[in-house]
Amino acid sequence: MAALRFVAISPKSVPFPQPLLGFPDRIHHAPFVVDRHLQIPLDAAVLESGNALVVTTEQPNEKSGQLEARGAAVLHMPASDGKVDLVALMRELAGRNLNEVLVESGNRLNGALLQAGMVDELIVYLAPHLLGDTARGMFDLGTLSALDQRRAFTISDVRRIGSDLRILARMA
DSSP sequence for 53-80: EEEESSPS-HHHHHHHHTT-EEEE--EE
Per-residue pLDDT band at 38 (split at 50, 70, 90): very high
**What's the pTM value of the predicted model, to 2 decimals?**
0.77
Strand ranges (E), 24-117: 28-34, 53-56, 73-76, 79-80, 83-84, 101-103
Return the biggest CA–CA distance within the chain: 49
Lowest average pLDDT, out of 25-29, 76-80, 126-130, 143-147, goes to 25-29
**Residue pair 78/57 in contact by the 8 Å Cβ criterion:** yes
Domains of the chain: residue spans and CATH: 4-171 (3.40.430.10)
* Beta strands 73-76 and 79-80, pairing class: unpaired
**Residue pair 19/48 in contact by the 8 Å Cβ criterion:** no
Whether the pLDDT of residue 11 is over 80: the answer is no
Q: Which residue has the higher pLDDT, 131 or 77?
A: 77
Distance between CA atoms of 55 and 37, rounded to whole angstroms?
A: 9
Question: Cα 96 to chain center, whole Å?
Answer: 18
**Residue pair 99/72 in contact by the 8 Å Cβ criterion:** no
Per-residue pLDDT band at 157 (split at 50, 70, 90): very high
Per-residue pLDDT band at 7 (split at 50, 70, 90): low
Q: Which residue has the higher pLDDT, 50 or 6?
A: 50
**Residue pair 68/50 in contact by the 8 Å Cβ criterion:** no
